[in-house]
């Protein structure tokens, strides 16, 4: 399957600082990228969807000014957690998919990065 | 709103057993359903993707079935091995290019 690389895998930051997480599709062009958050022993919750060259679409309850998403190219999306607080500590996972056939998203698999464990102290 | 449920939440079996993981979803209007594996502290590995027009997919010891009308999918693992121990997640794509994930089944295969 296709490879999605997420960096860093772990990060510890001080409260009030910002952290940037990168998500790269290594061997395909990702027309759409997704950012998820996962709490311990819970499932993935979609935070936002981004299409290359356009603004991200955030899910209800997700603060767009706090979680800045940039999808500047077909192989790179970044999530910046601004003014991080301890409650932002979580496991963040990105996903990418290429162009589908017919309706966007149909018939294409979603490939996931390795995840980033963020700890805010 | 699509909701995805997985049963059981946790499962422990001895090595060699065949087992079935269940996934149900409330809205049958889906594009596809995917099964993933997640190891502790890691990302997701895609196992099988079933399009809405398909009834099953097979990969090695894994077989996934889909009954869209009843809102159910099963993942069958044959001859389980300790290396199969992980959390298994199912996810459905129903609209807007988004995946809705189930709560997962934590599988432990005892040597």
Decide if pLDDT at A7 tops 80: yes
- Interface mutation vs chain B, best among A33, A110, A113, most B CBs within 10 Å: A110
pLDDT value at residue B77: 98
Decide if pLDDT at A78 tops 60: yes
pLDDT value at residue A108: 66
Task: Search chain A and give the residue with CA nearest B6.
Answer: A43
Dihedral pair phi/psi, residue B89, rounded to 5°:
-120, 140
- Interface mutation vs chain A, best among B10, B42, B43, B51, most A CBs within 10 Å: B43
Q: In chain B, helix, strand, coil percent, each to 5? A: 5, 60, 40
pLDDT value at residue B96: 66
Q: Do B98 and B2 form a contact (C-beta atoms < 8 A)?
A: no
pLDDT value at residue A53: 79
Measure in Å the smallest separation between the Cα of A16 and chain B Cα atoms.
Answer: 25
Task: Search chain A and give the residue with CA nearest B88.
Answer: A43
Task: Search chain A and give the residue with CA nearest B34.
Answer: A109
Decide if pLDDT at A119 tops 80: yes
Q: Do A111 and A5 form a contact (C-beta atoms < 8 A)?
A: no
Q: For chain B, which ranges sit under pLDDT 70?
A: 96
| B100: Cα separation from own chain's centroid | 12
Task: Note the residue count of chain B.
Answer: 111
Token couple for A81: 């957690």
Cis amide prior to B8 (ω within 30 degrees) = yes
């Amino acid at each position: 399957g296709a490879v999605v690389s997420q960096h860093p895998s772990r990060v510890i930051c001080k409260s009030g600082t910002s952290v940037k997480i990168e998500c790269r599709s290594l061997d395909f062009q990702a027309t759409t990228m997704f950012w998820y958050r996962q709490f311990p022993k819970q499932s993935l919750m979609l935070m936002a969807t981004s299409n290359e060259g356009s603004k991200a679409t955030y899910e209800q309850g997700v603060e767009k000014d706090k979680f800045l998403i940039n999808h500047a190219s077909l192989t790179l999306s970044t999530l910046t957690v601004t003014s991080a607080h301890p409650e932002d500590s979580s496991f963040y996972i990105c996903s990418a998919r290429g162009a589908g056939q017919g309706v966007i998203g149909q018939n294409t698999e979603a490939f996931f990065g390795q995840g980033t464990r963020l700890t805010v102290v | 709103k699509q909701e995805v449920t997985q049963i059981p939440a946790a499962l422990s079996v001895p090595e060699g057993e065949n087992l079935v993981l269940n996934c149900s979803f409330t809205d049958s209007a889906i594009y596809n359903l995917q099964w993933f594996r997640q190891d502790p502290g890691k990302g997701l590995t895609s196992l099988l993707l079933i399009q809405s027009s398909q009834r099953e997919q097979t990969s090695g010891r894994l077989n996934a079935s889909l009954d869209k009308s009843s809102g159910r999918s099963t993942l069958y693992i044959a001859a389980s091995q300790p290396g199969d121990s992980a959390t298994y997640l199912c996810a459905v794509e129903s609209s807007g290019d988004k995946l809705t994930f189930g709560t997962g089944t934590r599988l432990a295969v005892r040597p």
